[in-house]
């Protein structure tokens, strides 16, 4: 299959293009920064830029992985051509499972975004963390449940107490943390 051969390179290229678009156009044009921000990490464009730079770096790694995998398969000579590859039903079912999980993840993102205002960002993030980790196939509850619960709480305290950025609490607004 062509996608299996060039999939990493194509995916890395798409992510790299999106990252470059964000760094060159979206963040400078779309994120306004007040002139009186003295600490760079508190400036509005800082974290989107950091995330986009990280995306660009990971995209480059994915492209390099794809190039390395292609050159390794070509030099080994053990990669079957498209004509020699057997028609495998497992490949179709695996692809269907991936598409289904991706569609579920997109729906979960919309549900998460809609749940932030009524139930608050902390509780919505805890539920989303549990759901996405379970969807990804992790079944070691003793590892992912504490992370899914503690990470949103720690981030809430960081943003509200250190960075002085209000976080919506939904119906928990009456609780003074």
Cβ contact 167:122 at 8 Å: yes
Per-residue tokens: 60: 């480059």
Classify residue 109 by its DSSP letter.
H
Per-residue tokens: 143: 């590892």
- Same structural domain, 72 and 120: no
- Same structural domain, 59 and 47: yes
Torsion sign, CA atoms 27, 28, 32, 33: positive
- Specify the residue for token string 């979206």: 26
Q: Which of 85, 110, 140 is the last residue of a domain?
A: 85
- Same structural domain, 32 and 62: yes
- Same structural domain, 57 and 141: no
Find the domain containing 118 and state its range.
89-177
pTM above 0.95, yes or no: no
Distance in angstroms (rounded) separating the CA atoms of residues 34 and 146:
37
Q: Which of 85, 108, 134 is the last residue of a domain?
A: 85
pLDDT truncated to tens, each residue of the chain (177 aa)? Answer: 555 678 889 999 999 999 999 999 999 999 888 888 777 777 888 889 999 999 999 999 999 999 988 777 667 665 555 555 555 566 667 878 888 999 999 999 999 999 999 999 999 999 999 999 999 988 899 999 999 999 999 999 988 888 788 888 888 777 766
- Same structural domain, 172 and 93: yes
- Same structural domain, 27 and 69: yes
- Same structural domain, 40 and 116: no
């Amino acid at each position: 299959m062509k996608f299996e051969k060039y999939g990493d390179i194509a995916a890395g290229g798409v992510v790299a293009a999106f990252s470059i678009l964000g760094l060159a156009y979206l963040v400078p044009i779309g994120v306004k920064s007040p002139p009186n921000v003295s600490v760079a990490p508190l400036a509005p464009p800082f974290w989107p830029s950091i995330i986009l730079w990280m995306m660009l770096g990971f995209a480059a790694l994915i492209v390099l992985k794809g190039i390395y995998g292609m050159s390794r398969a070509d030099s080994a000579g053990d990669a079957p051509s498209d004509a020699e590859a057997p028609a495998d039903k497992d490949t179709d079912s695996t692809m269907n499972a991936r598409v289904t999980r991706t569609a579920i993840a997109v729906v979960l993102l919309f549900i998460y975004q809609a749940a932030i205002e009524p139930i608050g960002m902390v509780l919505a993030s805890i539920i989303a963390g549990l759901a996405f980790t379970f969807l990804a196939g992790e079944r070691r509850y003793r590892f992912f449940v504490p992370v899914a619960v503690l990470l949103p709480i720690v981030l809430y305290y960081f943003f509200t107490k250190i960075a002085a950025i209000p976080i919506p609490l939904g119906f928990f607004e009456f609780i003074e943390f």
